[in-house]
Amino acid sequence: MSTAPVQPILLPADWRDFWSLTKPRVMSLVIFTGLCGLLAAPVPINPVIGFAAILCIAIGAGGAAALNMWWEADLDAKMKRTANRALPAGRMDRAVARDFGIVLCAGSVLVMGLAVGLLAAAILAFSIFYYAVIYTIWLKPRTPQNIVIGGGAGAFPPMIGWIAATGDITLMPVLLFAIIFFWTPPHFWALALFVETDYAAAGIPMMPVVAGHRSTRRQILIYAVLLLPIALAPFLLGLTHWLYGLSALLLGAAFLILTLRVATFRTPANDADMRAEKRLFAFSIIYLFALFGALVADRFILG
């Protein structure tokens, strides 16, 4: 990482630039999965404490995202998709972004510890460290398995939500963690297949750049196949009712069919338009929202 800003800074950063540093779209998924973990837990939680827990998860994720953008400003400047972000575009000083990230992370852990519980705060702190240091600084620039490792960071929110409600770690939050962990590689590699040129320009060892399309498609299929029994496990182990089980089966089957289209039946025409990859990427987002939505519905409707 060099310390020189990409563009000269002429004006102070707008509040929207600070907001964009927290990656609001990623944060919405974090809030949703964290909330589902909290609501699916068998123990009711006071709404104020529940709100504080979700807020802390969101702010912690936002702080980690700000630290990620601070560290990757040079890489972001090289990619068309990210070149207009506040740091590479020169709308914000790097040190300001770093300090903003640190304040959000520290504040979220502190409030989580005081208002919700020490175990939830400890897992939140570890998830921030995992994303900002282990993933962003250490492994993302070094290994094409970066997405698999990064998936671990995204998998923490439902676990933290569950722990905030119950106060301890049981099999169910571990399964929720595993679902997102195995969902992440097909989700991101599908994206990486159709924005490959961007990652190549930035020198990030994304799987399609390093191992090629064929190997990436095979690995997408492997993770999608593994995801099906993991998503069904809460039902098979008697931790949920049939509503979640049926949803996991139908959603998993649809996910697998779309993945098969990405992994097999390749022709020069569908290699060119990447329609199957774009469809898998779009459906993977729906899949996660629907699966966790079904988990909460199962808990509220069937008890």
Query: Among residues 6, 9, 55, 249, which is the contact residue for another protein, using CB under 8 A?
Result: 55
CA atoms within 13 A on the CB side of 233: 15
44 counts as binding another protein under rule CB under 8 A: no
Stretch that binds another protein, among 11-19, 163-171, 243-251, 252-260 (CB under 8 A): 11-19
Q: Burial of 146 by CB count in 10 Å (0-12 exposed, 13-18 middle, 19+ buried)?
A: buried
Q: Burial of 221 by CB count in 10 Å (0-12 exposed, 13-18 middle, 19+ buried)?
A: middle
Query: Among residues 3, 4, 8, 10, which is the contact residue for another protein, using CB under 8 A?
Result: 10
Query: Among residues 1, 14, 201, 212, which is the contact residue for another protein, using CB under 8 A?
Result: 14
11 counts as binding another protein under rule CB under 8 A: yes
Residues 93, 21 contacting (CB under 8 angstroms):
no
Give min distance, CB of 11 to another protein, in A.
Answer: 6
Interface mask (CB under 8 A) for another protein, residues 134-173, using x and -?
----------------------------------------
Stretch that binds another protein, among 8-16, 190-198, 209-217, 235-243 (CB under 8 A): 8-16
Nearer Cβ to another protein (38/52): 52
Stretch that binds another protein, among 41-49, 92-100, 181-189, 284-292 (CB under 8 A): 41-49
8 counts as binding another protein under rule CB under 8 A: no
Query: Among residues 3, 4, 44, 48, which is the contact residue for another protein, using CB under 8 A?
Result: 48
4 counts as binding another protein under rule CB under 8 A: no
Stretch that binds another protein, among 44-52, 69-77, 78-86, 232-240 (CB under 8 A): 44-52
CA distance 129 to 134: 7
9 counts as binding another protein under rule CB under 8 A: no
Binding to another protein (CB under 8 A): which residues in 102-131?
114-115
Q: Which residues are at the interface with another protein (CB under 8 A)? A: 10-15, 18, 46, 48-49, 51-52, 55, 114-115
